[in-house]
A and B are shown apart, each in its own frame.
Chain A
Amino acid sequence: MQKYIIRRLALMIPTLFGLSILVFTMVRLVPGDIVALIAGDFGATSKETRDAILKDFRLDRNIPEQYVLWLGEIGRFDLGSSLISGRTVQSELKTRLPVTMELGILALVVSVAMGIPIGILSAVKQNTAADYVGRSAAIGLLAAPNFWIALLLIALAGRYFRWGVPPTTYVGFTDDPIANLKLMLVPAIILGGSSSGGVMRYTRTAMLEVLRQDYIRTARSKGLTDRVVIIRHAMKNALIPVITVIGLGIPGIVGGSVIIETVYSIPGMGRYYVSSINQLDFPVVQAINLVSALVVVFANLGVDITYSWLNPRIRYS
């Protein structure tokens, strides 16, 4: 087990290295004139101002040189500072990252809480009305764009209920947890709901697979009740592969938060990312890219380790 974890960690090093190069170069290739955007505020774009700005942000050097300097800063946990606000990226992210994480965790909870029970029910009652409803719901959830559902809810709520409309002011969780949850719940349900379709389908398949196994028949023939067989024998084994699919859903939730935060005006990382790209605020863009890539890489690692811990058969392959 230890050996497996060490091997996985070693494999992560080239991945992270490659990711950092990718993120760094991509941001610099986005077309647009950063100087014009910054200097435009002062109305002056003389040659001197231009050079001073470029020098300030090290844009006068070539890309490999910039990359090495940037990597050194990352090593010291220094993400640079925003070109637009002038504040450090850390302080900008410090207020926004928890918001997105809250949304992501809530969404993950919703997606698991909806996906797994419905998936199991669908498998246990295979080919009954409950199964058909469950399966159709899963495909419906997979096919419905989450921003569309969000828009419909806003339109509906704004017209008839005066509730669930994106508020003009955001309330932090630490300021007022109840008010915060009130405005985070609807976006989290939409985000989690749209990724629960995949969890449902996967749970159903895994459960059907397990229910066909010999040990289930043995458990039944021992005279155990359906309830005990399903919960104690089948579910335990069926949920192992489901962990993978939950892990695979994390990038989707990271991406989905960009959309949902935009629709619901939630001041998280996703919305900040969109506005930073538009403003060519590249220190912020590369920092957010790096953070979200790290989240995905570590989520994958966590999933693989949990998986091999729960299922020793794959550990040594």
Chain B
Amino acid sequence: MATEARALDDSYRLGPPAPFYRRYPVALWRFIRHYPLGAFGAFFVVVLILMAAVPAIFTPLEAQDPLRQSIGDRLQAPSASHWFGTDELGRDLYARIVFGARTSIIIGFGVVLLSKALSVVLGTISGYYGGLFDTLLQRIIDIGIAVPGLVFIILVVQTLAGRIGDMLAIVLSLSLLIATSSSRTIRGVALSLTTEQYVDAARALGAHDVRIMARHIVPNLFAIVIVSASILVGNAVLIESSLSFLGYGVQPPTPSWGRMLNDARQQLVRAPHLAIFPGLVIFLTVYSFNMLGDALRDRLDPRLRGSR
């Protein structure tokens, strides 16, 4: 408790603000000190984004080519030239994991952007107008909430993958499913915001509905949206890997961590490294996004501290 109180004192200290080049390192250092696990999460997330953007800088060795097969080197244990060992076709597992980051990051962030955009729009309109539209939409959302997640996602992905591509199909089906439950939360908050006095004031000044929603309601929703976004990225990564593990997710040759774990099942006892490393990376990714999310929530919305 004492450290948290000091953090508050620091951030509300009076006096002229320090120049930005001094302010940001200080703020960063304070974040690291107060939320070490959150900082670790942030660091790993940055590494993952870098891996997704420019995987080549993480694979300096010549042997680290995710596609190069070499039957003579198959199922090798981790060594100096193959840090995580090799798979059944003699491909370097470390390189394959690095190149698989792009798949997870695209799906994770894609799902968050799409589902949050959808749920803010639907939730705000539903909460603001109420009435028949609200009633109908809420019944549809009831259906979305009642759907058993993974069972349903498999079916949707199987239907759409051939038509719009597997990545897009996963992002779309996950976003739709997540948007149903999160738009309900947003509707609740939007509903309570419409009774605020500043909304009445805006209306008395002659502002039309779209303006009230865009300028007065949506900005006040950002706190709850951002707070849950980071954790949602982790969940999306986890669901994608489950799908790929079952063989319904991203199809080869696109590298995917879940798929690698599925491949590992063939040689589980002989080559356990094939199961250890891809799973470890999924675990670290989900863990990092969760930790970062927790820290961001504590920092941005102290009322929610310790909850979820």
Contacts and interface: CB of A to CB of B under 8 A. Distances in A.
Contact of A151 (B1, B142, B279): B279
- What is the interface of chain B mostly: helix, strand, loop, or mixed? helix
B250 to A, nearest CB: 15
B287 interface: yes
Given A30-B158, A145-B238, A158-B269, A273 B308 contact: no
A15 B269 contact: no
Interface of A: 11, 14-15, 18-19, 22, 26-27, 29-31, 127, 139-140, 142-145, 147-148, 151-152, 154-156, 158-159, 201-202, 204-205, 208, 251-252, 254-256, 258-259, 262-263, 270, 273-274, 277, 285, 288-289, 292-293, 295-297, 300
Contact of A259 (B139, B245, B287): B245
Given A15-B139, A145-B283, 13 more contacts: A15-B143, A27-B155, A30-B159, A139-B287, A142-B290, A143-B238, A144-B286, A151-B264, A152-B272, A159-B272, A289-B151, A289-B155, A292-B151
Contacts of B283: 140, 143-145, 148
A205 B152 contact: no
Contacts of B276: 152
B150 A255 contact: yes
Contacts of B151: 254-255, 258, 270, 273, 288-289, 292
A285 B155 contact: yes
Interface string B266-278: 0011001001101
Interface residues on B, range: 35 or more
A255 B307 CA distance: 26
Contacts of A31: 159, 162-163
Contacts of A127: 1
B246 interface: yes
Nearest to B289: A143
The 3 closest A-B pairs by CB, nearest first: A255-B150, A148-B279, A143-B286
A258 B278 CA distance: 21
Contacts of B149: 251-252, 254-255
Given A145-B238, A148-B275, A292 B268 contact: no
Given A31-B159, A155-B269, A148 B246 contact: no
A152 B265 CA distance: 10
- What is the interface of chain A mostly: helix, strand, loop, or mixed? helix
A296 B148 contact: yes
A140 B162 contact: no
B286 A148 contact: no
Contacts of A29: 159
B158 A277 contact: yes
Interface in B249-300: 258, 261, 264-265, 268-269, 272, 275-276, 278-279, 282-283, 286-287, 290-291, 294
Contact of B242 (A140, A143, A208, A259): A259
A232 B146 CA distance: 35
Contacts of B72: none
Contacts of B147: 19, 22, 251, 293, 296
A22 B180 CA distance: 15
Contacts of B279: 144-145, 148, 151-152
B234 interface: yes
Nearest to B136: A14
5 contacts: A152-B279, A263-B265, A289-B155, A292-B151, A296-B147
Contacts of A288: 151
Given A29-B159, A145-B242, A15 B146 contact: yes
B306 interface: yes
A201 B242 contact: no
Contacts of A201: 308
Interface string B112-155: 00000000000000000000000000011011011111111011
B187 to A, nearest CB: 15
A300 B147 CA distance: 11
B148 A254 contact: yes
B241 interface: yes
Interface in B188-243: 234, 238, 241-242
Contacts of B154: 258, 273-274, 277
